[in-house]
Structure 1
């Protein structure tokens, strides 16, 4: 499916039915508002390298760096947004592929800010593929949905049976320290993931949908009054998933805890899902990092480097 076909498909999503007005400033999906990024990693002379790079602003990756002291063979790419955040009418596509036996990490330069909107919406489509024995950590920073914003993200994942993917979505409930009405003051946040094998066999699908005024958002089984959450899935072979699950202790329920977290098995022996909620982003990051470290140690025999002081 081409980019235009996928964008047209997303445009028909039921939750977007009220958000098709054209912005007065520049029409939706106009030149300069359609960002594309393609990253391809492969083994070359026994080393994982970024062999394929295509970018269209406002999305940018400059080059792969090897700065992880605990895993120096890991090429790391940071996605840079030169547009200052996501605006109404923006349409993004990100395509990441990791070849047989290769490894990579993809992250972002900082939080993904979805600005306030008075017309239309913003969308992002992601395609991720991992071949035999591949390993990918795709952990973008927090998405911050401003008051009145509308953002839909769809991710299609194709992964081989013996590959490992650590994929994360982290969300902060608006600019909580800016204004009281910012907390879940968004109009729409939709995040969907579909996972299948290379032969087309479907493993599972998941969708998170938050709409303005949803009274269930603070139910005990949802946010429970917390302001940040993370859904981190580890798609990995069953034996690796078993070892990871044995090491990760559930933190729930704990009174007055700054964060709660736990893991569960995904359908069709696809791997594990870690979910966490916390008061601040740093509280959720701590839970994510703990899970991330266990995943890397059990999948690659490597650990994480020490955290940067400013994190």
Structure 2
């Protein structure tokens, strides 16, 4: 599907009806505000490589690196935003494809900051396609919605039955150390995911929607007492999912927990999902890393390297 058609589909989302005004500085989706990134991985001479790369600022990937000592065959790409964060009127398109038997990791250079907006909104459309026996770890860093920000994202995943995808979102409630009004001070945050097989069979879909002044976000059963959240999906064959589930139970300490988490089964035997909430980003990152480690060990027979000191 063409980029402009995908953007038009997002423009029609009902939650965006109140955010159609044009910015005073530069019109929405103007040149320089449309970022596009295409990454294609395949096996060449027995090694997974980044064989296809297209980039259009403000999105950038330089090259694939092989720095994971625990899985040296894994090409790793970091998505860089040269725009300093997401601004009003920005439109992003990311397309990631893995051919048969390929493996890769895609992450982001740093947290994804969604800046304050007084007109329009920002959007992102992602497509992720995995061929048979492919393996992808797509784990962006935290998304931080600033006060008054408006952001909508749609991720469409097509995955073969024997492939494995570890993908998800990590969110902050805002810049809580900057100002009290930053916590859930956003105007709109809409993040949807749909997953299907190559033959078109739908596995599941989900949507996280937070709108301005939604008091339920701070309820005890949602985010009361916590400011970081993660929803990480592991779409994998049922036998691997069973082994991972056996290792990752519920973490719900009784006394003043820094973080809580649990792993549930996805519909239609698609795999598992980790939900975690914590006081700070590093509390949630710890829960994600525990799940990530189990996934890699059970699916690929490799572990995770030691975490960087500055993380």
In the superposition, the TM-score normalised over structure 1's length comes to 0.99
Aligned counterpart, 1:19 = 19
**How far has the Cα of 1:182 moved from its partner?**
0.3
**How far has the Cα of 1:215 moved from its partner?**
1.0
Aligned counterpart, 1:298 = 298
Q: Distance in 2 between matches of 1:88 and 1:154?
A: 17
Residues 130-149 of structure 1 aligned to structure 2 (within 5 Å)? 130-149=130-149
Q: Distance in 1 between matches of 2:275 and 2:224?
A: 13
Aligned counterpart, 1:267 = 267
Aligned counterpart, 2:192 = 192
Q: Distance in 1 between matches of 2:109 and 2:44?
A: 27
Q: Distance in 2 between matches of 1:49 and 1:154?
A: 27
Aligned counterpart, 1:85 = 85
Superposed structure 1 runs of 4+ greater than 6 Å apart? none
Name the SS of the counterpart of 2:92 in structure 1.
Answer: strand
Aligned counterpart, 1:230 = 230
Aligned counterpart, 1:51 = 51
Aligned counterpart, 2:124 = 124
Q: Distance in 1 between matches of 2:4 and 2:69?
A: 40
Aligned counterpart, 2:38 = 38
Name the stretch that deviates more: 219-228 or 143-152. 219-228
Name the SS of the counterpart of 1:288 in structure 2.
Answer: helix
Aligned counterpart, 1:75 = 75
Q: Distance in 1 between matches of 2:189 and 2:197?
A: 27
Name the SS of the counterpart of 2:276 in structure 1.
Answer: strand
Name the SS of the counterpart of 2:198 in structure 1.
Answer: coil
Q: Distance in 2 between matches of 1:290 and 1:213?
A: 34
Question: For this pair of structures, how many residues does the alignment match?
Answer: 311
Aligned counterpart, 2:158 = 158
Structure 2: state its 5+ residue gaps: none
Residues 199-218 of structure 1 aligned to structure 2 (within 5 Å)? 199-218=199-218
- Tell whether the 8 Å contact from 1:254 to 1:260 is kept in structure 2 after alignment: no
Q: Distance in 1 between matches of 2:117 and 2:102?
A: 40
The C-alpha deviation readout for 1:35-78, integer Å capped at 9, x for no partner, is 00000000001100000000000000000000000000000000
Name the stretch that deviates more: 47-56 or 224-233. 224-233
**How far has the Cα of 1:220 moved from its partner?**
2.4
Q: Distance in 2 between matches of 1:219 and 1:174?
A: 16
**How far has the Cα of 1:249 moved from its partner?**
2.2
Aligned counterpart, 2:3 = 3
Structure 1: state its 5+ residue gaps: none
**How far has the Cα of 1:168 moved from its partner?**
1.5
Name the SS of the counterpart of 1:254 in structure 2.
Answer: coil
Q: Distance in 1 between matches of 2:29 and 2:244?
A: 42
Q: Distance in 2 between matches of 1:202 and 1:303?
A: 31
**How far has the Cα of 1:253 moved from its partner?**
5.5
Name the SS of the counterpart of 1:224 in structure 2.
Answer: coil
Q: Distance in 1 between matches of 2:35 and 2:254?
A: 43
Aligned counterpart, 2:109 = 109
Change (3 A) 1:253 1:216: farther
Q: Distance in 1 between matches of 2:200 and 2:252?
A: 36
